[in-house]
Amino acid sequence: MSSVKKAFLLFLLFVVLLPSVLKDQLSVFAESDPSGQNVKNVILMIPDGFSSAHAANYRIFKEGEFVLDSILVGMMKTHSKNSWVTDSAAAGTAMATGVKTRNGFIGIDEDGNSLKTILEAAKEEGKGTGLVGTKSITDATPAAFATHVHTRQNEGEIARQLMNKVDVLLGGGERNFLPASSGGVQEQRNLIKEAESSGYTFVQTKSELAEVKPNVEKLLGLFADNMMAAEIDRHRTEEPSLQEMTETALALLRRNNNGFFLMVEGSKIDRAGHAHDPAWVMHDIAAFESAVITALEFAEKDGETLVVVAGDHDTGGMSVGGYDEYRAEPEMLRKVEATAQFIAQCFNSERTNISEVMKQYTHLDVTKSEINELYRADIEKVPYLIAQIVSRSAYIDWVTYEHTGVDVPIYAYGPRSSLFQGVLDNTDLPKRIAKAMKINF
How far is 422 from 433, CA to CA, in rounded Å?
A: 15
Q: For residue 334, give the DSSP letter.
A: G
270 labeled binding residue: yes
Q: What one-character-per-residue DSSP string does 154-208 give?
A: -HHHHHHHHTTT-SEEEEE-GGGGS--EETTEE-S--HHHHHHHTTEEEE-SHHH
Residue 79 identity: H
Distance of CA 351 to the CA centre of its chain: 36
The catalytically annotated residue of 80, 88, 136, 391 is 88
φ, ψ at 422 (rounded to 5°): 100, -165
CB neighbour list of residue 183: distance below 8 Å, 6 or more residues apart: none
Residue 88 designated active-site: yes
- 107/118 Cα distance (integer angstroms): 11
- Bridge partners of 308, per DSSP, are 44, 412
Extract the runs of DSSP E, i.e. beta strands, from 267-398. 305-310, 314-315
Burial classification of residue 423, based on how many CB atoms lie within 10 Å of its CB (0-12 exposed, 13-18 middle, 19 or more buried): exposed
Question: What are the backbone angles phi and psi of residue 135, rounded to the nearest 5°?
Answer: -95, -155
148 annotated as belonging to a binding site for a ligand: no
CA distances from 90 to 108, 136, 311, 368, 402 (A): 9, 17, 13, 44, 15
Is 407 annotated as contributing to ligand binding? no
48 is in an annotated binding site: yes
Provide the residue count of the chain: 441
Residue 65 assigned to a binding site: no
Angle CA 172–126–221, to nearest 5: 15
One-letter amino acid for residue 147 of the chain:
T
Q: Is 233 annotated as a binding residue?
A: no
141 in a labelled binding site: yes
Find out whether 265 is annotated in a ligand binding site: yes
Handedness of CA 394, 400, 403, 408 (dihedral sign): negative
Beta bridge partners of 321: 396
Known binding residue 79? Answer is no
CA distances, 102 to each of 92, 117, 146, 149 (Å): 11, 16, 17, 12
Residues annotated as binding site?
48, 139, 141, 265, 270, 274, 312-313, 403
Residues annotated as binding site for Mg(2+)?
48, 139, 141, 265
- The residues assigned a catalytic role are 88
Residues annotated as binding site for Zn(2+)?
48, 270, 274, 312-313, 403
